[in-house]
Amino acid sequence: MAVKLRKPILVGGISLSFGLWLWQNLQQSVFEVGEVSMVGAIALASGWWYLQQKLTKPQKTVLSPINQEKLEKAIASVKHTITYLETEAPAQDISNLQQKLVELPELTNRQTLQIAVTGGKNSGKTTLTQLLQNLGIGENITFRETPPLFTEIDTETTAALELTNVADLVLFIVTGDLTESQLQIIQQLWEKHQHIMLIFNKQDQYILEERGVIWEQLKYRVKDIIPPENIVTISAAPAAVKVRQHQTDGSTKEWLEQQKAELGNLGDRLREITTKEKEQLVLAATWRAAIELKNEAKNHLNKVRKIRALPIIEKYQWVVAISTFANPVAALDLLATAAINTQMLIDLSEIYQQKLSLSQAQTGSGTIAKLMVKLGLVELSTQTIGSMLKTNAITYVAGGTVQGISAAYLTRLAGLSLIEYCQEQETITEGFNLENLGEKLQKVWQENQRTAFLQGFIKQAKNCLSVNTNQTVIN
């Protein structure tokens, strides 16, 4: 695995790191003062950032309704993604995606509306669906019950969410105050511009005062998502009531009498929505179909790009290993690593059509490095790799081996994290989302902590170091 470096950023960064090593020997005392000052500056900046975060209040998210212009932009974005896929994977059959793209604009002309009835197990979905089908809400309106949410069967929840995503309107049934899981699902539907009605069923199981309290709680919990007029209390299948009748002979006769369903103003509200807001419902549903098609195309595209990106990560991880192993000063190998990681980010960004500038890549490299330190990945990686290398005393005593392999491993994590991050982003040219990037780092870390993988990685790294230490050519 001979490694040649032809990138000017790498050459400059690695050369500069060795130059600084020479300068450091002459300016040790000054360097120490500068280091202390830097630590103090970082501490001060961190404190100011924390204070700003504490004082900054989160802003309420406002979603504007879907109009024809937004829909056309979404369809154009789908076409753009499919075009990329055609260009980057010409041999791949994507005729089904192209057909769906052609059909998208026609979805806005349909006359039928589909209403999904969803909720947890035993919430009354089946009964309410049957009642609404017989109620005569309007022509060309169908009601479809979804599988139950919040069960131990993941496929049921997935199927339920798929049905709610393609529906024009969702009736979300609860039998009491909202749980956190229910609220999260409602939030997700709302973020997809789904029109939601919250149905409080089985109200007959509560006394009158409790019904009022629950209704007020529901309104408060979803006040930024669902308007009060879309929160309805019903009893789709009220419990039977015991009836006692006194007979003329002085005896009594008792029986259970089934009560009629109480749907309140649900029917009237559904007629109003499906009549006055039909165009908006169809536009929003078509927009969601466009987003789903784009995600489908992007998943294909991400697979193609990842195949191209992995060899780049592997190349740079070994470059980092050799550079770190050969650098006589451990503190200064960070400079060379930063230069290499910057070049890696630039190369990866080109694959994902991000095209980062040098300054943006430098910022990204620094951001990832800081997150690794903050999450404790640097220390954990060094400890884990060091403990594995101790099984081979001869290898372990080679001073730079642990640092070289650890640096290569962290470079691999950085590259894989950037792949995960880029796969979800439209553009990263305006900066990195630290929370999202941190989540990707943790995910990649967990996926690459398997003992078998680490043992194989260490074996490859040791082989790379032994072969390339005296063969690295810088052009």
Superfamily of domain 110-276 in the CATH hierarchy: P-loop containing nucleotide triphosphate hydrolases (3.40.50.300)
Instruction: Answer yes or no: are the C-beta atoms of 417 and 370 closer than 8 Å.
Output: no
Residues in the chain: 475
- pLDDT for 368 equals 83
DSSP H/E element including 97: helix 95-103
Q: Please, is 60 exposed, middle or buried when counting C-beta atoms within 10 Å of its C-beta (0-12, 13-18, 19+)?
A: exposed
Instruction: Answer yes or no: are the C-beta atoms of 2 and 471 closer than 8 Å.
Output: yes
Q: pLDDT 10s digit of each residue in the chain, 475 long?
A: 555 555 554 544 444 444 444 444 444 444 444 444 443 443 444 444 444 444 444 445 667 889 999 999 999 999 999 999 999 999 999 999 999 999 999 999 999 999 999 999 999 999 999 999 998 888 889 999 999 999 888 888 899 999 999 999 999 999 999 999 999 999 999 999 999 999 999 999 999 899 999 999 999 999 999 999 999 999 998 887 777 777 777 777 776 777 888 999 999 999 999 999 999 999 999 999 999 999 999 999 999 999 999 999 999 888 888 777 766 554 445 667 788 888 898 899 889 887 788 888 888 888 888 888 887 877 777 777 777 776 554 444 455 677 778 888 888 888 898 898 888 877 665 567 777 878 888 888 888 877 777 777 777 877 777 665 555 444 3
DSSP H/E element including 153: none
Q: Which two tokens stand for residue 229?
A: 């007029």
Domain boundaries, the chain: 1-21+64-109+295-475, 110-276
Q: What is the pTM of this model?
A: 0.75
- Strands 169-174 and 141-145 come out as unpaired
CA 371-376-380 angle, to 5 degrees, is 135
Enumerate the H helices of 390-470 as residue ranges. 393-396, 399-424, 434-447, 451-468
Return the exposure string of 243-260: e unless at least 16 CB atoms fall within 10 Å of the residue's CB, then b: eeeeeeeeeeeeeeeeee
- pLDDT for 91 equals 92
- pLDDT for 367 equals 83
State the CB neighbour count (10 A cutoff) for residue 147. Answer: 18
